[in-house]
Structure 1
Amino acid sequence: MISDVMDQLDPQLGYIVDNLERKIVGKRPLMEFMVTAVLAEGHVLLDDVPGVGKTTVATMLARSLDLSYSRIQCTPDLLPTDITGVTIFHPGTRQFEFHPGPVFANLVIADEINRTSPRTQSALLEVMEEGQVTVDGVTHPLEPPFLVVATQNPIEYEGTFSLPESQLDRFLFRLNVGYPSIEEESTILSQSDHALPLDSVQSVISRQELLERMRSVRDVHVADAMRSYIAKLADATRSSPHIELGMSPRASLALYRASQAWALLHSRDYVIPDDVVKLAPLVVKHRLILSRTSTNPNGHLVDDVFDNILRSVPIPPLAK
């Protein structure tokens, strides 16, 4: 451990995590990361094999937070207007009327996002960054909060498209659900006959309360040493001979805000080094592009390179 600070979840926010665990067995750390992303106003990419509960996680999150949500099933023939909406001319009124697409919700589940074309994936770029959609030159703002939870299957699976760098950079976290342990899978099987229907899941926090907690994230104190630490991590990725594309300023801001949200979730009004170290791999690794001389057929070198950087940058002492 980097510090001896004892963390305990904020009672109200911890209740959200508990509610998620009613349906998702044995994934409490994942649930904490999902709630952190909501508080930090960030988007999440759930990257894992089919059948491990990625879509269930996103649906449970929406229901627990009393948010409107929609699901986009991504397919190769999906069009950008199928996501954003379309303007239609009505002969009777002789006026154009905008018909909003499924992106007009508080939480949008983009299921198997890497099965749709890069052109359609790009339809999410503006809305993920600015919380608005522009169609036919008219800008339509979305009602906050707004969160995209995208799922994708591993790139090597048939019929998938790699997400472009600009798309990946807009996801706060890239998370894996992972297979359950033997004990957890036994529990899943024993509960299958009496499983909690998703439709019966009740929200545990109102939308207004959630917005207030999201605003309070920005009040979490970050010491100068912690800001400098994040900046040094970013610089180390940019100067590494193994990395062609390092952390962007957006990535630094994402790590900064996620650390504040994680602290708030754990009942603290200040960020500690543990927060940054714990979250950095989830925020940074999917944004990095290795130099062409640093490729690895096993695909694990990004982890190795960033882990080495994380170990090489001195961790600041705990300071409130």
Structure 2
Amino acid sequence: MTRTFEQAIADFAPTLPLAVAYSGGADSTALLLACARKWPGQVAAVHVHHGLQAAGDDFERHCRAVCATLQVPLVVQKVDARHAPGQSPEAAARHARYQAIDALALHGQAAVQTIAIAQHADDQIETLLLALSRGAGLPGLSAMAAQWQRAGLTYCRPLLQVSGQAIRDWLQAQGARFIEDPSNVDERFTRNRIRARLMPALQATFPQFRDTFARSSRHAAQAQALLQEVAAEDLARIGVPPDIKALQALSTPRLANVLRHWLLGVHQVTPTSAQLAALMAQIAACRTRAHQMHLKVGQGFCFRRGKVLDWYNPRPLSPCSNPSCP
């Protein structure tokens, strides 16, 4: 159920000390201000300078000024968030942000236990709609988690049940200053088109859509968690790397499930739907000693090695000296 900003902050109980991912925009400004008031002396801010806009230096100066006023320590991390060919600019920037925050924790530059991110209910719906537009499975339809672990830190999104408008209303009542990132209204980006065009239409047609869509995402997350448990049990039984005959004994949905789990959990690879379908067809056809497999999956290849299925990435090693390579 959608909540007020005050309710969300009242119920937020992170392990301290806490750092807020602070861009200088309305959402992160509200979260930083509320947390600094609730836990004085226990809150820091982390600002990631993406190096993508000429205004980036102005954003940094604004964040420094606000943190000085709040007497909140600020750590600025500069990254190169330019996207690679075929990668979305949003994904590249997001990856760079998390890497920067992880680096602070790993190198002891930020003595924090928890990182708070100001993504809210509207962001959650936009993420779900993006996933639907791409034909995503349960992991994508689960949208954004409220809490997770990464690089020894606990990440939290305490505002996921608060609308963007409710956050701005609270911030306006405080008279707090924030910056408007011009890239947030650039409709060349799909998320911004969703925000500008679809969200108002959904509000007019389904006034409770934030609650009902978020409920669907929670159902998807529960189903995905169950599939993860089943996949872990199956993989423990068939071995790592997986035994081909044991894979052939699984039903089609269960085979797809355990292959995704193995590739992602062991090799950090997510196959496309076409790659997974081709791999499953080859597993089904592998009935003789002479049958060979060598299929592109992610940035590497799945191949047959004796009785098992394996995966390797040829790029780090040239020529390939990895004993797993065929």
Question: How does the TM-score come out when normalised to structure 2?
Answer: 0.29
Larger Cα-atom Rg = 2
Q: Which structure ranks higher in relative contact order (CA pairs < 8 Å, sequence separation ≥ 6)?
A: 1
